[in-house]
Structure 1
Amino acid sequence: MNTYKGHRNGKRRASGRSTAAGRGKGKSRRKAAVFVENTYIKWGILILAVLTLALAVRGFLSHGGTYVNVDASEPDIDVQLLDVNPYSRPGIESNGITGIVIHYTANPGSTAQENRDYFNGLQYSQETSASSNFVVGLDGEIVQCVPTWEVAYASNDRNYDTVSIEVCHPDESGKFTDETYRSLVQLTAWLCVKFDLTADDVIRHYDVTGKNCPKYFVEHEDAW
Protein backbone atom coordinates (compact mmCIF):
# COMPACT_ATOMS: atom_id res chain seq x y z
CA MET A 1 0.00 0.00 0.00
CA ASN A 2 2.77 2.38 0.96
CA THR A 3 4.64 1.63 -2.23
CA TYR A 4 1.51 2.21 -4.25
CA LYS A 5 0.77 5.49 -2.54
CA GLY A 6 4.29 6.63 -2.99
CA HIS A 7 4.02 5.80 -6.66
CA ARG A 8 0.85 7.81 -6.96
CA ASN A 9 2.37 10.70 -5.08
CA GLY A 10 5.39 10.52 -7.33
CA LYS A 11 3.20 10.73 -10.39
CA ARG A 12 1.39 13.65 -8.90
CA ARG A 13 4.63 15.45 -8.23
CA ALA A 14 5.84 14.67 -11.73
CA SER A 15 2.57 15.88 -13.18
CA GLY A 16 2.86 19.12 -11.18
CA ARG A 17 6.33 19.74 -12.54
CA SER A 18 5.09 19.07 -16.08
CA THR A 19 2.25 21.56 -15.66
CA ALA A 20 4.59 24.18 -14.30
CA ALA A 21 6.97 23.61 -17.20
CA GLY A 22 4.07 23.95 -19.64
CA ARG A 23 3.01 27.17 -18.04
CA GLY A 24 6.58 28.42 -18.25
CA LYS A 25 6.74 27.59 -21.94
CA GLY A 26 3.38 29.31 -22.49
CA LYS A 27 4.64 32.45 -20.80
CA SER A 28 7.82 32.33 -22.86
CA ARG A 29 5.83 32.04 -26.09
CA ARG A 30 3.61 34.97 -25.09
CA LYS A 31 6.65 37.05 -24.21
CA ALA A 32 8.24 36.17 -27.53
CA ALA A 33 5.05 37.08 -29.39
CA VAL A 34 4.81 40.39 -27.56
CA PHE A 35 8.47 41.09 -28.29
CA VAL A 36 7.99 40.38 -32.01
CA GLU A 37 4.83 42.51 -32.11
CA ASN A 38 6.57 45.40 -30.37
CA THR A 39 9.53 45.07 -32.73
CA TYR A 40 7.23 45.33 -35.76
CA ILE A 41 5.50 48.36 -34.26
CA LYS A 42 8.83 50.07 -33.57
CA TRP A 43 10.05 49.37 -37.11
CA GLY A 44 6.75 50.59 -38.53
CA ILE A 45 7.03 53.85 -36.59
CA LEU A 46 10.65 54.25 -37.71
CA ILE A 47 9.79 53.66 -41.37
CA LEU A 48 6.86 56.11 -41.16
CA ALA A 49 9.14 58.73 -39.60
CA VAL A 50 11.73 58.25 -42.34
CA LEU A 51 9.10 58.56 -45.08
CA THR A 52 7.66 61.68 -43.44
CA LEU A 53 11.12 63.21 -43.24
CA ALA A 54 11.81 62.33 -46.89
CA LEU A 55 8.58 64.01 -48.00
CA ALA A 56 9.38 67.04 -45.88
CA VAL A 57 12.84 67.33 -47.43
CA ARG A 58 11.35 66.97 -50.90
CA GLY A 59 8.86 69.75 -50.16
CA PHE A 60 11.66 71.86 -48.72
CA LEU A 61 13.88 71.47 -51.76
CA SER A 62 11.09 71.88 -54.28
CA HIS A 63 10.83 75.60 -53.55
CA GLY A 64 14.47 76.53 -53.30
CA GLY A 65 14.79 75.62 -49.64
CA THR A 66 11.47 77.03 -48.41
CA TYR A 67 9.23 74.27 -47.08
CA VAL A 68 5.65 74.46 -48.23
CA ASN A 69 2.99 72.28 -46.65
CA VAL A 70 0.23 71.80 -49.22
CA ASP A 71 -3.17 72.77 -47.89
CA ALA A 72 -6.08 72.02 -50.24
CA SER A 73 -8.73 73.68 -48.09
CA GLU A 74 -10.57 76.72 -49.40
CA PRO A 75 -8.36 79.77 -48.85
CA ASP A 76 -9.50 83.19 -47.68
CA ILE A 77 -10.64 84.92 -50.89
CA ASP A 78 -11.56 88.57 -51.22
CA VAL A 79 -14.27 88.50 -53.89
CA GLN A 80 -14.25 91.75 -55.89
CA LEU A 81 -15.82 90.83 -59.19
CA LEU A 82 -15.16 93.11 -62.14
CA ASP A 83 -18.01 94.93 -63.81
CA VAL A 84 -19.31 92.99 -66.79
CA ASN A 85 -17.75 94.65 -69.84
CA PRO A 86 -16.22 93.64 -73.21
CA TYR A 87 -12.61 94.32 -72.16
CA SER A 88 -12.10 92.33 -68.97
CA ARG A 89 -15.23 90.44 -67.97
CA PRO A 90 -17.34 89.55 -70.97
CA GLY A 91 -19.75 87.47 -68.90
CA ILE A 92 -19.29 84.44 -71.16
CA GLU A 93 -19.74 81.04 -69.53
CA SER A 94 -16.73 78.73 -69.80
CA ASN A 95 -16.84 75.37 -71.56
CA GLY A 96 -16.00 73.48 -68.39
CA ILE A 97 -12.71 73.74 -66.52
CA THR A 98 -9.96 71.33 -67.58
CA GLY A 99 -6.91 73.23 -66.37
CA ILE A 100 -5.40 76.04 -64.31
CA VAL A 101 -3.00 78.55 -65.86
CA ILE A 102 -0.43 80.43 -63.76
CA HIS A 103 0.72 83.91 -64.80
CA TYR A 104 2.87 86.67 -63.34
CA THR A 105 1.80 90.31 -63.51
CA ALA A 106 5.03 91.57 -65.17
CA ASN A 107 4.56 94.69 -63.03
CA PRO A 108 7.07 94.43 -60.14
CA GLY A 109 5.84 95.65 -56.78
CA SER A 110 2.21 96.05 -57.80
CA THR A 111 -0.44 94.74 -55.42
CA ALA A 112 -3.35 92.39 -55.98
CA GLN A 113 -5.75 95.29 -55.49
CA GLU A 114 -3.95 97.46 -58.04
CA ASN A 115 -4.05 94.70 -60.63
CA ARG A 116 -7.71 94.05 -59.97
CA ASP A 117 -8.51 97.76 -60.33
CA TYR A 118 -6.47 97.92 -63.55
CA PHE A 119 -8.56 95.11 -65.04
CA ASN A 120 -11.77 96.83 -64.03
CA GLY A 121 -10.60 100.14 -65.49
CA LEU A 122 -10.11 98.64 -68.96
CA GLN A 123 -13.80 99.16 -69.62
CA TYR A 124 -12.99 102.89 -69.65
CA SER A 125 -9.49 103.03 -71.12
CA GLN A 126 -10.25 100.31 -73.67
CA GLU A 127 -6.51 100.00 -74.26
CA THR A 128 -6.52 96.21 -74.32
CA SER A 129 -8.47 93.15 -73.26
CA ALA A 130 -7.07 91.53 -70.13
CA SER A 131 -8.14 89.99 -66.83
CA SER A 132 -7.76 86.97 -64.61
CA ASN A 133 -10.02 84.91 -62.40
CA PHE A 134 -7.75 85.46 -59.40
CA VAL A 135 -4.83 87.67 -58.38
CA VAL A 136 -2.47 86.60 -55.59
CA GLY A 137 -0.75 89.51 -53.83
CA LEU A 138 2.67 90.14 -52.31
CA ASP A 139 1.47 89.30 -48.80
CA GLY A 140 -0.45 86.22 -49.90
CA GLU A 141 -3.82 87.94 -50.20
CA ILE A 142 -6.14 86.53 -52.87
CA VAL A 143 -8.57 88.70 -54.84
CA GLN A 144 -11.15 87.13 -57.14
CA CYS A 145 -11.97 89.19 -60.23
CA VAL A 146 -14.00 86.83 -62.42
CA PRO A 147 -16.13 83.82 -61.38
CA THR A 148 -14.52 80.46 -62.10
CA TRP A 149 -17.38 79.55 -64.42
CA GLU A 150 -16.80 82.63 -66.59
CA VAL A 151 -14.17 83.40 -69.20
CA ALA A 152 -11.28 85.69 -68.24
CA TYR A 153 -8.99 87.25 -70.85
CA ALA A 154 -5.67 85.78 -69.76
CA SER A 155 -4.69 82.55 -71.47
CA ASN A 156 -5.39 83.04 -75.17
CA ASP A 157 -6.67 79.76 -76.65
CA ARG A 158 -7.25 78.34 -73.15
CA ASN A 159 -9.52 81.15 -71.94
CA TYR A 160 -12.61 79.01 -72.38
CA ASP A 161 -11.58 75.92 -70.42
CA THR A 162 -9.19 77.12 -67.71
CA VAL A 163 -9.07 79.17 -64.53
CA SER A 164 -6.36 81.84 -64.63
CA ILE A 165 -4.30 83.06 -61.69
CA GLU A 166 -2.20 86.22 -61.92
CA VAL A 167 0.56 86.39 -59.33
CA CYS A 168 2.30 89.49 -58.00
CA HIS A 169 6.08 89.64 -57.51
CA PRO A 170 8.38 92.16 -55.81
CA ASP A 171 11.08 92.57 -58.46
CA GLU A 172 12.14 92.00 -62.07
CA SER A 173 13.17 88.38 -61.45
CA GLY A 174 9.52 87.43 -61.26
CA LYS A 175 10.14 85.25 -58.19
CA PHE A 176 7.23 85.14 -55.76
CA THR A 177 7.51 85.89 -52.05
CA ASP A 178 7.08 82.94 -49.69
CA GLU A 179 3.68 84.30 -48.59
CA THR A 180 2.58 84.62 -52.20
CA TYR A 181 3.83 81.16 -53.07
CA ARG A 182 2.03 79.50 -50.14
CA SER A 183 -1.27 81.17 -51.06
CA LEU A 184 -0.81 80.25 -54.71
CA VAL A 185 -0.22 76.60 -53.82
CA GLN A 186 -3.27 76.48 -51.55
CA LEU A 187 -5.50 78.21 -54.09
CA THR A 188 -4.31 75.92 -56.87
CA ALA A 189 -4.74 72.79 -54.74
CA TRP A 190 -8.26 73.86 -53.75
CA LEU A 191 -9.17 74.50 -57.39
CA CYS A 192 -7.79 71.09 -58.36
CA VAL A 193 -10.07 69.47 -55.80
CA LYS A 194 -13.00 71.65 -56.87
CA PHE A 195 -12.66 70.75 -60.56
CA ASP A 196 -11.24 67.22 -60.14
CA LEU A 197 -7.89 68.13 -61.69
CA THR A 198 -4.37 66.79 -61.16
CA ALA A 199 -0.97 68.46 -60.96
CA ASP A 200 -0.53 67.78 -64.69
CA ASP A 201 -3.49 70.08 -65.36
CA VAL A 202 -1.69 73.03 -63.76
CA ILE A 203 0.30 74.83 -66.46
CA ARG A 204 2.13 78.06 -67.16
CA HIS A 205 1.05 80.73 -69.64
CA TYR A 206 4.30 79.75 -71.37
CA ASP A 207 2.90 76.26 -72.00
CA VAL A 208 0.02 77.79 -73.97
CA THR A 209 1.75 80.45 -76.07
CA GLY A 210 5.49 80.26 -75.38
CA LYS A 211 5.35 83.64 -73.63
CA ASN A 212 7.92 84.18 -70.84
CA CYS A 213 5.22 83.95 -68.18
CA PRO A 214 5.46 83.37 -65.30
CA LYS A 215 9.01 84.55 -65.86
CA TYR A 216 10.78 82.95 -62.89
CA PHE A 217 9.23 79.54 -63.53
CA VAL A 218 10.01 79.65 -67.23
CA GLU A 219 13.64 80.56 -66.61
CA HIS A 220 13.95 78.09 -63.71
CA GLU A 221 12.28 74.88 -64.86
CA ASP A 222 13.49 73.01 -61.77
CA ALA A 223 11.55 75.39 -59.52
CA TRP A 224 8.33 74.73 -61.43
Structure 2
Amino acid sequence: MATRHRKRTRGITPAPLLLALAFLCFGAWVLLRSRPSDVQAPGWVEQQFLTENPWSRPGDKLKEVRGVVIHYVGNPGTSAQANRNYFESLSTGEEDTYASAHFVVGLEGEVIQCIPLTEIAYASNSRNDDTVAVEVCHPDETGQFSDVTYGQVVELTAWLCETYHLKPNEDVIRHYDVTGKICPKYYVDHEDAWTQFLSDVEARLNEGFEKED
Protein backbone atom coordinates (compact mmCIF):
# COMPACT_ATOMS: atom_id res chain seq x y z
CA MET A 1 0.00 0.00 0.00
CA ALA A 2 1.47 3.27 -1.07
CA THR A 3 2.18 5.80 1.65
CA ARG A 4 0.10 8.92 1.29
CA HIS A 5 1.88 12.18 1.59
CA ARG A 6 -0.02 15.30 2.56
CA LYS A 7 0.37 18.04 0.07
CA ARG A 8 1.94 21.04 1.69
CA THR A 9 -0.01 24.22 1.26
CA ARG A 10 2.05 27.27 0.77
CA GLY A 11 1.49 29.60 3.73
CA ILE A 12 0.61 33.21 3.12
CA THR A 13 3.49 35.46 3.97
CA PRO A 14 2.58 37.05 7.30
CA ALA A 15 4.29 40.40 6.66
CA PRO A 16 1.67 41.85 4.25
CA LEU A 17 -1.12 40.65 6.52
CA LEU A 18 0.46 42.25 9.54
CA LEU A 19 1.01 45.46 7.61
CA ALA A 20 -2.60 45.56 6.46
CA LEU A 21 -3.79 44.87 9.99
CA ALA A 22 -1.58 47.67 11.31
CA PHE A 23 -3.07 50.13 8.82
CA LEU A 24 -6.60 49.09 9.78
CA CYS A 25 -5.84 49.51 13.47
CA PHE A 26 -4.24 52.90 12.87
CA GLY A 27 -7.24 54.07 10.85
CA ALA A 28 -9.64 52.97 13.57
CA TRP A 29 -7.49 54.69 16.22
CA VAL A 30 -7.49 57.98 14.30
CA LEU A 31 -11.26 57.78 13.81
CA LEU A 32 -11.92 57.11 17.47
CA ARG A 33 -9.62 59.96 18.53
CA SER A 34 -11.62 62.48 16.49
CA ARG A 35 -15.09 61.07 17.17
CA PRO A 36 -17.20 63.35 19.38
CA SER A 37 -18.13 61.95 22.76
CA ASP A 38 -19.82 63.24 25.88
CA VAL A 39 -16.78 65.27 26.94
CA GLN A 40 -16.81 66.87 30.37
CA ALA A 41 -15.96 70.55 29.96
CA PRO A 42 -13.51 72.15 32.42
CA GLY A 43 -14.87 73.77 35.57
CA TRP A 44 -14.32 77.27 34.19
CA VAL A 45 -16.86 76.64 31.43
CA GLU A 46 -20.47 77.54 32.27
CA GLN A 47 -22.94 75.35 30.42
CA GLN A 48 -26.07 77.17 29.25
CA PHE A 49 -27.30 74.96 26.44
CA LEU A 50 -29.70 76.49 23.96
CA THR A 51 -33.21 75.11 23.64
CA GLU A 52 -33.27 72.59 20.80
CA ASN A 53 -34.76 74.32 17.75
CA PRO A 54 -34.27 74.47 13.95
CA TRP A 55 -32.55 77.87 13.96
CA SER A 56 -29.71 77.72 16.46
CA ARG A 57 -29.57 74.22 17.93
CA PRO A 58 -30.87 71.67 15.42
CA GLY A 59 -29.65 68.70 17.45
CA ASP A 60 -27.81 67.19 14.47
CA LYS A 61 -24.92 64.97 15.51
CA LEU A 62 -21.36 66.18 15.01
CA LYS A 63 -19.76 63.54 12.78
CA GLU A 64 -16.21 64.08 14.02
CA VAL A 65 -14.02 66.89 15.30
CA ARG A 66 -11.29 67.77 12.83
CA GLY A 67 -10.80 71.39 13.77
CA VAL A 68 -11.61 74.46 15.85
CA VAL A 69 -12.96 77.58 14.14
CA ILE A 70 -12.40 80.98 15.78
CA HIS A 71 -14.97 83.76 15.21
CA TYR A 72 -15.55 87.25 16.57
CA VAL A 73 -19.04 88.37 17.54
CA GLY A 74 -18.94 91.59 15.48
CA ASN A 75 -20.83 93.52 18.17
CA PRO A 76 -18.25 95.56 20.12
CA GLY A 77 -18.72 95.69 23.87
CA THR A 78 -21.34 92.94 24.10
CA SER A 79 -20.98 90.19 26.69
CA ALA A 80 -20.84 86.43 26.36
CA GLN A 81 -24.26 86.25 28.03
CA ALA A 82 -25.78 88.72 25.59
CA ASN A 83 -24.50 86.77 22.61
CA ARG A 84 -25.66 83.47 24.06
CA ASN A 85 -29.10 85.00 24.65
CA TYR A 86 -29.16 86.23 21.05
CA PHE A 87 -28.64 82.67 19.81
CA GLU A 88 -31.48 81.55 22.08
CA SER A 89 -33.76 84.29 20.73
CA LEU A 90 -33.38 82.87 17.23
CA SER A 91 -35.37 79.81 18.32
CA THR A 92 -38.63 81.64 17.57
CA GLY A 93 -37.77 81.77 13.86
CA GLU A 94 -38.91 85.39 13.62
CA GLU A 95 -35.53 86.58 12.35
CA ASP A 96 -35.23 83.77 9.81
CA THR A 97 -31.57 83.44 10.82
CA TYR A 98 -29.48 80.34 11.46
CA ALA A 99 -26.61 81.01 13.87
CA SER A 100 -24.90 79.66 16.98
CA ALA A 101 -21.57 78.51 18.38
CA HIS A 102 -20.42 75.85 20.79
CA PHE A 103 -18.69 78.41 23.02
CA VAL A 104 -18.74 82.16 23.59
CA VAL A 105 -15.77 83.77 25.35
CA GLY A 106 -16.61 87.07 27.05
CA LEU A 107 -14.93 90.39 27.78
CA GLU A 108 -13.95 89.27 31.29
CA GLY A 109 -12.73 85.86 30.19
CA GLU A 110 -15.97 84.08 31.04
CA VAL A 111 -16.79 81.06 28.85
CA ILE A 112 -20.35 79.96 28.12
CA GLN A 113 -21.06 76.70 26.33
CA CYS A 114 -24.18 76.91 24.17
CA ILE A 115 -24.12 73.61 22.27
CA PRO A 116 -23.03 70.14 23.46
CA LEU A 117 -19.83 68.88 21.85
CA THR A 118 -21.76 65.98 20.34
CA GLU A 119 -23.89 68.32 18.19
CA ILE A 120 -23.23 70.76 15.36
CA ALA A 121 -23.50 74.53 15.68
CA TYR A 122 -24.59 76.83 12.86
CA ALA A 123 -21.35 78.78 12.60
CA SER A 124 -18.90 77.70 9.93
CA ASN A 125 -20.92 76.81 6.83
CA SER A 126 -19.33 73.79 5.11
CA ARG A 127 -17.32 72.97 8.25
CA ASN A 128 -20.27 72.75 10.63
CA ASP A 129 -20.18 68.95 10.48
CA ASP A 130 -16.61 68.49 11.70
CA THR A 131 -15.53 71.51 13.74
CA VAL A 132 -16.09 73.17 17.11
CA ALA A 133 -17.03 76.86 16.88
CA VAL A 134 -15.74 79.49 19.31
CA GLU A 135 -17.25 83.00 19.25
CA VAL A 136 -15.18 85.70 20.94
CA CYS A 137 -16.31 89.05 22.36
CA HIS A 138 -14.22 92.19 21.78
CA PRO A 139 -14.28 95.72 23.21
CA ASP A 140 -14.10 97.82 20.04
CA GLU A 141 -14.48 97.94 16.25
CA THR A 142 -10.97 96.64 15.58
CA GLY A 143 -12.03 93.20 16.75
CA GLN A 144 -8.88 92.75 18.83
CA PHE A 145 -9.47 90.62 21.91
CA SER A 146 -8.65 92.07 25.32
CA ASP A 147 -5.76 90.46 27.18
CA VAL A 148 -8.01 88.53 29.56
CA THR A 149 -10.26 87.37 26.71
CA TYR A 150 -7.27 86.42 24.58
CA GLY A 151 -5.79 84.33 27.37
CA GLN A 152 -9.03 82.43 27.86
CA VAL A 153 -9.44 81.79 24.12
CA VAL A 154 -5.92 80.35 24.11
CA GLU A 155 -6.82 78.18 27.11
CA LEU A 156 -10.08 76.93 25.58
CA THR A 157 -8.56 76.27 22.17
CA ALA A 158 -5.61 74.39 23.66
CA TRP A 159 -8.00 72.29 25.76
CA LEU A 160 -10.01 71.42 22.65
CA CYS A 161 -6.81 70.48 20.82
CA GLU A 162 -5.81 68.27 23.75
CA THR A 163 -9.25 66.65 23.91
CA TYR A 164 -9.53 65.92 20.19
CA HIS A 165 -5.83 65.44 19.40
CA LEU A 166 -5.66 68.41 17.05
CA LYS A 167 -2.62 70.32 15.83
CA PRO A 168 -2.94 74.10 16.34
CA ASN A 169 -1.01 75.05 13.21
CA GLU A 170 -3.10 72.75 11.03
CA ASP A 171 -6.48 72.31 12.68
CA VAL A 172 -7.22 75.69 14.31
CA ILE A 173 -8.63 78.03 11.68
CA ARG A 174 -10.55 81.27 11.27
CA HIS A 175 -14.04 81.67 9.87
CA TYR A 176 -12.19 83.57 7.13
CA ASP A 177 -10.33 80.40 6.15
CA VAL A 178 -13.64 78.64 5.47
CA THR A 179 -15.71 81.29 3.69
CA GLY A 180 -13.51 84.35 3.12
CA LYS A 181 -15.57 86.38 5.60
CA ILE A 182 -13.45 88.92 7.51
CA CYS A 183 -13.84 87.07 10.80
CA PRO A 184 -12.27 87.30 13.32
CA LYS A 185 -11.54 90.76 11.91
CA TYR A 186 -8.39 91.76 13.79
CA TYR A 187 -6.81 88.36 13.20
CA VAL A 188 -7.56 88.54 9.48
CA ASP A 189 -6.32 92.13 9.16
CA HIS A 190 -3.17 91.25 11.13
CA GLU A 191 -1.79 87.93 9.98
CA ASP A 192 1.10 88.21 12.42
CA ALA A 193 -1.36 88.37 15.32
CA TRP A 194 -3.03 85.18 14.10
CA THR A 195 0.32 83.43 13.77
CA GLN A 196 1.16 84.49 17.33
CA PHE A 197 -2.19 83.18 18.55
CA LEU A 198 -1.48 79.75 17.06
CA SER A 199 1.97 79.78 18.67
CA ASP A 200 0.44 80.63 22.04
CA VAL A 201 -2.07 77.79 21.69
CA GLU A 202 0.76 75.41 20.82
CA ALA A 203 2.77 76.54 23.85
CA ARG A 204 -0.21 76.08 26.17
CA LEU A 205 -0.96 72.68 24.68
CA ASN A 206 2.61 71.56 25.30
CA GLU A 207 2.21 72.41 29.00
CA GLY A 208 -0.54 69.79 29.27
CA PHE A 209 -3.76 69.72 31.27
CA GLU A 210 -4.49 68.07 34.57
CA LYS A 211 -7.53 65.82 34.54
CA GLU A 212 -10.37 67.15 36.66
CA ASP A 213 -12.28 64.88 39.02
TM above 0.5, yes or no, is: yes
Equivalence for 1:94: 62
Partner SS state of residue 90, structure 2: helix
Structure 1 position 174 matched with structure 2 position 135:
no
Q: 1:201 aligns with which of 171, 177, 180?
A: 171
Q: CA separation in 2, counterparts of 1:205 and 1:187?
A: 17
Partner SS state of residue 193, structure 2: coil
* Equivalent position amino acid for 1:210 in 2: G
Q: CA separation in 1, counterparts of 2:117 and 2:136?
A: 16
Q: Which runs of 5+ in 2 are unaligned?
A: 1-40, 195-213
Q: Deviations over 1:179-211 (max 9, x none)?
A: 100000000000001001011200000000000
Q: TM-score, normalised by structure 2?
A: 0.70
Q: 1:130 aligns with which of 88, 96, 99?
A: 99
* Equivalent position amino acid for 1:114 in 2: A
Equivalence for 1:84: 52
Structure 1 position 149 matched with structure 2 position 118:
yes
Provide closer, same or farther for how the CA distance between residues 220 and 98 of structure 1 changes in structure 2, counting only shifts above 3 A: same
Structure 1 position 218 matched with structure 2 position 188:
yes
Q: Deviations over 1:135-182 (max 9, x none)?
A: 000000000000111000000000000000000000000000001000
Equivalence for 1:17: none
Partner SS state of residue 135, structure 1: strand
- Number of aligned residue pairs: 152
Partner SS state of residue 85, structure 1: coil
Q: CA separation in 1, counterparts of 2:173 and 2:186?
A: 14
Equivalence for 1:37: none
Q: CA separation in 2, counterparts of 1:87 and 1:74?
A: 27
Equivalence for 1:184: 153
Equivalence for 1:62: none
- Indicate the percent of aligned positions where both proteins have the same amino acid: 58
* Equivalent position amino acid for 2:88 in 1: N
Q: CA separation in 2, counterparts of 1:147 and 1:183?
A: 19
Q: Which runs of 5+ in 1 are unaligned?
A: 1-72
Provide closer, same or farther for how the CA distance between residues 100 and 75 of structure 1 changes in structure 2, counting only shifts above 3 A: farther
Q: CA separation in 2, counterparts of 1:130 and 1:173?
A: 22
Residue 109 of structure 1: CA displacement?
A: 0.5
* Equivalent position amino acid for 1:80 in 2: Q
Q: CA separation in 2, counterparts of 1:219 and 1:83?
A: 35
Q: Which structure: larger Rg? A: 1
Q: CA separation in 2, counterparts of 1:74 and 1:82?
A: 19
* Equivalent position amino acid for 1:157 in 2: S
Residue 127 of structure 1: CA displacement?
A: 2.9
Q: CA separation in 2, counterparts of 1:101 and 1:149?
A: 16
Q: Deviations over 1:87-143 (max 9, x none)?
A: 000000011000000000000000000000000010113430000000000000000
